[in-house]
Structure 1
């Protein structure tokens, strides 16, 4: 019995989690080789890591260091200062030799000099790593400029390549090289000569303003820092451009001025050539280090000094499924192996798993042959198709304590309460999961009411089933029907275009626009036009007085509403104790004829709106532009305004989505869909709002759930049709109306188990 229309809202959530890993030597793709003289680890760390004292640390920025840590610029890592970490840091005055405190840190193993590349001893300036005559007191910045400082300046006509003067200025100047040189009067913009190179007036003042992307503050940046394979710099026009790489460990070029003794070109060397028992290799820090191979390692026999012997093929990885293990490395030492994956690590291993956690490798219910639904991963890392659907849902409807769907092939499934046969399966047994309604085919429209259900078949034939105490099945009796029963018409049956099942009555529109209602005429909700409502049920379809141009109709609990075709206006009839008919002149009275909703001409977007619906003591409509209006009793917040008294004037629902794509009205709560997001407000009893509690809400609140196409509000529960093809329900579940196989109330959405 409960409403459909819609609204729009965008929601964006972004959460970024950054995790830094520290890996011991031998972890990942590293090997560890023991040097007897230095007792030092010579690893090959993964890209992005530096080895310090036998451990691989992730490279970071200075600001990433935590309390008690110190950034070491040589390795670009955060370290807790120690006189045994082989790095001069903390309060150490000498060079840290990596031994016990009583052997190092105070006694310097090497006499400090001004050409050892480290500021130590009594040096007051920056140690430049050259001859003493180059001075540690003078600042390292070169001034005046020279042709080998890596920047084109001075009187240079060519491009300064940063080498010796004889090698440097060889490149011919060009107006497209991004450097002002040759006879250029402007700043070379790096494009064709005819393009202008204008510099913003404020460029160089150190403040980013106007169209500037950056501001170099007077010193143009051209090159990336050592260690950066790429970067952005601020050029002479105060634009961010790609900087010139000045080199890094692993680029295949030895930057001796940066302390490189070698450059491995991307693959650090860790082992000697076959047959060599000792050699020098280039490690991950571009340092030449000595490597010795112990005799016998790799022969398959554990000998003195060996923990194990790999027999020629060093082990590096744990077997699949192991979260940790010990392996035999290239030095015949037992070390922690690299974990290659296991079920539960969140990464699918195609050779062993069909999925892992949320990683389904792109699989969906559709790709595995189902019509729709939600594919998931079980605890064994196999695809779980239990929430996939064998049928494709085309329409959803919710009654007081039951729910039904129509499939694209014209079949109907229902579940929930069934003591009066409202599920249509020929029994009176409650069903907590969808059950096929037999005998129906080519169904084009369905509607679930308080105690009964109706369906239109292709060609316009209308059938109803379930409770019939007030004649709401329209077959001339007041006897319940356990299976679909045709509605009986006076004369030739008309072509029925739409139907709405209310609590104890039913309304429909036939071809041409004439509206009919039947069942209980309590408070005049059938609209028969009599002087007073009928005290007896009208068990056959009865024309609604003066409503021959209806385009949409909705049967509520004690009143009904419709939209007229000729002027697009809304009309309602039946009880008006709370202003639910929208006619202030009839407030407190009932009407057996349609009354026009007041003030429609004065509310922007209200006139000619596509949908109107009747709840219990109130009504709602969706205007032309997606705005939702409600009127009547605000007792549970369904008018969207806690301060509004009972009113006949349509009240715009504030605080919710401004443009609804779909709207649905129940007895005491309302829900809508906007751009795939479901919003609900009103009574929260039994969790029917889906917000995780049972509180009432006086304005629309968004639910946390998958994207939805439409929503259907029942008596004390709600269901939504999802874009993935599935259905989710929430609220009261006393009779299995949520379809999840239980009778447990849910305050948040759960999937229907088809």
Structure 2
């Protein structure tokens, strides 16, 4: 379909190059972080927008972008996948067999052997030459699955989320030896926990487990992958992690959730935690084809292209027209009854691509992460015209020009930030059980302040 109309090509804040006009491009992949978004377009073009304070947009500065901006540093690198962590991003080049990362570098989550922030993409040397099947990024750790089914992990490890048998952070990717001889199909990363599905359909969990989010029947951490007991005869094919909850899909298309449910993010009609995978009965008549977990909300896509959301909804991130938490799935409606083909949950916002090749976003918009050229929250899907067929189809977007060899892209975190405690730290139900508040749960949008 021919593109209809044009939009503003530069963001309302920050730098970047001038407007460029190019061929029609369709969005192949989307990925939402804490407060930023990334998209891979046809032609191996990567765009990013939203919060840029930690370099997670990759445009060489710390500015927010309110509209999709082409990450020109990755042009001509044959990028085939992009994945957002909370405040960092990764991309994979198939032809160069190279993983790139950028953004907030604390705890070694970028994999470059240090804790420095990066404001433009740099190759992770330890992964050079590997054929990567999938990358997963959590709050402060990452994992990569090779085509051979091996798993590498790096970043923060205070609760064992790297699966290495220790609680020591890893500044570079390391092999998870526990999966030796067990080919892994995919992995998922939460705040401080990790899940995996093997090629044989077995489900594993490790890391921080206080809410039962490992699915192992208790509230204990695991430093090594533990096998989850699932329903007899059900093999798992998909897994996703929210902040403190986990979602999986079986080969029959059934959806299971477990872990933290204070905001209804498990979708079982209540606010009770589940320590083992619990089938979502309300969607038993639907076959689930895709899942995504946000900070405290969940999205599930059916094979019919219907999208359902539930959980925390303060900013409208569930997308059903209100700001009320939902403890059961509610269908998200799109103009012209468009079917959804791709979804991604950020912390407080959600992205979706439809069969008409339109991209929609909703939820928190304070840093421009919705890509609408503004910083307004939305509680129903709104089209991102710059990336959509019913818009300018990627023909008129801003482009950033960054020299990825520049040493200025490296910044030590001690030069930029002081870590400050959150005055409104959330006190979960496990305080009574464990005698301490969860100091790692942020409540507002700003976690750090400039020194």
TM-score calculated relative to the size of structure 1: 0.47
Q: Shift in Å at residue 385 of structure 1?
A: 5.3
Aligned: 1:438 with 2:72: yes
1:752 aligns with 2:384: yes
Secondary structure, counterpart of 1:529 in structure 2: coil
Structure number having the greater strand percentage:
2
State whether residues 190 and 244 of structure 2, in contact with CA within 8 Å, keep that contact through their aligned partners in structure 1: no
Shift of 1:464: 0.4
Aligned-partner SS, 1:524? coil
1:632-689 Cα distance to aligned partner (Å, 9 max, x none): 1221111112346322221111223621122111121111122122110111111110
Counterpart pick for 1:738 among 370, 383, 398? 370
Could you tell me which runs of 5 or more consecutive residues in structure 1 were left unpaired when the two chains were aligned.
Answer: 1-365, 376-383
In the alignment, does 2:178 pair up with 1:550?
no
Q: Map of 1:330-729 to 2, 5 A cutoff? A: 366=1, 368=2, 370=3, 375=4, 384=5, 386=7, 390-440=24-74, 441-459=77-95, 460-489=97-126, 493-530=129-166, 533-534=167-168, 537-548=169-180, 549-565=183-199, 567-584=200-217, 587-598=218-229, 600-602=230-232, 606-607=234-235, 609-643=236-270, 645-656=272-283, 658-674=286-302, 675-705=304-334, 706-729=338-361
Contact 2:271 2:327 in 1 (8 A): no
Shift of 1:703: 1.2
How many residue pairs get aligned? The number is 363
> Separation in 2 of the partners of 1:751 and 1:499?
27
- Measure how far apart 1:494 and its partner are: 2.4
Question: C-alpha separation between the residues in 1 aligned to 2:52 and 2:187?
Answer: 26
- SS of 2:159 mapped into structure 1: helix
Paired with 2:271 and 2:196, the residues of 1 have a C-alpha distance of: 24
Q: Give, in whole Å, the separation in 1 of the partners of 2:72 and 2:60.
A: 8
Partners of 2:118 and 2:140 in 1: CA distance: 15
Counterpart CA distance in 2 for 1:506 and 1:643 is 31
Which residue does 2:427 correspond to in 1? none
Q: How does 1:18-417 map to 2 (within 5 A)?
A: 366=1, 368=2, 370=3, 375=4, 384=5, 386=7, 390-417=24-51
Q: Is there any run of 5+ residues in structure 2 with no aligned partner, and where?
A: 9-21, 387-451
Check the 8 A contact 1:640/1:654 in 2, yes or no. Answer: no
Q: Distance in 1 between matches of 2:201 and 2:253?
A: 15
TM-score by length of 2: 0.77
CA separation of 1:683/1:644 partners in 2, compared to 1, >3 Å: closer, same or farther?
closer
Structure 1 residue 495: deviation in Å?
2.4
